[in-house]
Amino acid sequence: MKKIKTPSPALPHFTLLGMLGVCAITGNAYGFQAYSSDDMSVHWDNTVQYNLGMRVKDADDRILNNPAFHESNKKFSDAGDIVTNRINVLSELDVIYKKDFGFRLSGSAWRDFAYDSDVEFDPAVMPAGSSYSGNKYDSYTDRYYRSGAQVLDAFLFAFRDNYSVRLGRLTQFWGNAVFFGAQGINYSQNAADNIKGSASPGTEAKELAIPRAQILYEAQLSDNLSIATQYFLEFQPNRNPEGGTYLGAAGFLWYGPDRMLGGLSRGSDYEPDEINNNFGVKLSWTPEWLQGTLGVYYRRLDEVQPWAPMAEYDSAGSMRSYHLAHADDVTLIGLSLDKQIGTLSTGFELSWRKDTALNSAMNTTGLGHEGARGDTLNVIANAISGLTPNRFYDTGTAVMELAYTRKLSVSDNKELYNGENDGGCPTGSKWDGCSTDDSLAVAASVTPQWLQVYPGLDLSMPLFVQYGVSGNAATLNGGVAQGAMVYTAGISALYRQTYKATLQYNGYDARAKTQNGIYTSGNGAFMWNDRDWISLTLSATF
């Protein structure tokens, strides 16, 4: 395992910026071009998206005056503040030669005019200073919140009658999880863009996947049996909302900040090697009698979500710095079933993770750079249905998903496990964020639609809620804590299948404890209790 200061960057993005610049100069920016001949076809699609977000509530002093959450809440602290004013361009190019060979290249570039580089804080709350040196965002936070670009897909492919091969940076999503990717068979198969996910609650897990360099081979072994294998050539960590940004949590997390509460310095993070024997095998069986698909999986993985913060100590036993660390060499064995039951399209998953990272407290006794590890059992069940037309709407879709986690054992650093009645949880209470042996969470999305309300115009009403029903997951980033809720409600218009506008309210609620006028602990993302916001998203695809 290597020690690094910041995560490895995406593929060099100056190529994408150059490409977009050339497009703008030639006057063909964001246009669709297609070429087709007997030997070759070329498809080029571009999407331009604009997002405007406004804070609904003034900052709650109980959150604002807690030094851990102060910087993120201070950045845009007043109701009516614009929290994002962002334009994003996505470009996708596919070239296919003789229907057998080709490549895919995609990338995006963005600029958010709501953000400057300044970290906002009150010295009365944080007398030691902010979590960023010089009180300015570092290059990592600056890139993902102000302006930047990235290459996404970049791979070659070859197809034959019964097999295919892909080589390069791509995403692959195994299993059936829709919303709870952190508990699915796909866990750590791709890193997740949680910056995007937090800004767009209800986004499906597969849409948040960050492409990762790999070799992917898929083959049809018989009429009802197929195999897929993949071997990874790089490691990518999750992108999480950074400290000092609107939806950031603790100001000293994650990859951008370099000081904890303005004092303890950030050390070198522990991140797995780029090539670290991460691989997976999937068998899919579709017998006629089953009327569905049964999947069997074996994966060896390094986890994309880090323990944070962990501490480093000097020879005298004094804390000298803090860092992030990733669990490596984790084993996952899974089963999945997707099947049509009446009018419902259903999906089920069962997965066992060995030596996975568990919810951990900060090490305070120099125990090493890792948190607690153990074994867990994870279950996903979901159903997707079309809405039956009635007098209230023409059509639509409904999705519901349950996620259950069972802690089986704690194998390493048990004293750090942040579980009820364990060393990492001094209060022994789940209402302070301590994990329980069992947890259950639910997510539901309902989107009624009204078609052709005007020639070429369709309307829809996306509604989403995610709620912690019982307990707190034992794993890192393992779902919604008990009693915590994230919800959205909006209205969306689609014109000629090209232009889309969505107005949406985004809200949060979690249980918190108050002491001496500030939130001192709670269950779930209680630091977001005052950060409801309204977003307007406009997009066009050509």
The model's pLDDT over 375-415, given as tens digits with 9 standing for 90+, comes to 999 999 999 999 999 999 999 999 999 999 999 999 988 88
- Report the chain's mean pLDDT, rounded to a whole number: 89
Q: What is the pLDDT of residue 200?
A: 67
Taking Cα atoms as reference points, which of 351, 348, 458, 446 lies closest to residue 396?
446
Q: What kind and span of H or E run contains 23?
A: helix 14-26
Angstrom distance (rounded) from CA 446 to CA 448: 6
Q: What is the pLDDT of residue 366?
A: 66
Q: What is the pLDDT of residue 264?
A: 86
Q: Which residues contact 257 (CB under 8 A, 6 or more apart)?
A: 131, 132, 138, 141, 242, 243, 244, 251, 266
Task: Provide the token pair at 468.
Answer: 């912690």
Say if CB 341 and CB 382 are below 8 A apart: no
Cα 307 to the center of its chain, rounded Å:
16
Q: What is the pLDDT of residue 203?
A: 64
pLDDT at 13 over 60: no
Query: How does strand 269-271 pair with strand 2-4?
Result: antiparallel
pLDDT at 462 over 70: yes
Which of 275 and 7 is assigned the larger pLDDT?
Answer: 275
Q: Which residues contact 187 (CB under 8 A, 6 or more apart)?
A: 181, 301, 303, 332, 351, 353, 378
Q: What is the pLDDT of residue 166?
A: 97
Task: Provide the token pair at 1.
Answer: 């395992």
* Domains of the chain, each with CATH number or no CATH: 2-541 (2.40.160)
Q: Which of 127-131, 157-161, 192-196, 471-475 has the lowest mean pLDDT?
A: 192-196
Q: pLDDT-derived band of residue 428, with 50, 70 and 90 as boundaries?
A: confident
At 221-242, the pLDDT tens digits run 999 999 999 999 999 999 999 9
Tell if the pTM clears 0.85, that is, is over it. yes
Helices (runs of H) and strands (runs of E) counted in the chain: 5, 30
Taking Cα atoms as reference points, which of 285, 281, 66 lies closest to residue 189?
281
At 140-195, the pLDDT tens digits run 999 999 999 999 999 999 998 899 999 999 999 999 999 998 899 999 999 988 88
Q: What is the pLDDT of residue 106?
A: 93
At 17-27, the pLDDT tens digits run 333 333 333 33
Residue found by looking up tokens 């960023």 in the block: 132
pLDDT at 9 over 60: no
Task: Provide the token pair at 191.
Answer: 């890193």
Q: What is the pLDDT of residue 31?
A: 43
- Tell me the average pLDDT across 11-17: 34
At 75-125, the pLDDT tens digits run 999 999 999 999 999 999 999 998 899 999 999 999 999 999 999 999 999
Taking Cα atoms as reference points, which of 179, 174, 271, 188 lies closest to residue 228?
174
Q: What is the pLDDT of residue 273?
A: 92
Say if CB 500 and CB 485 are below 8 A apart: no
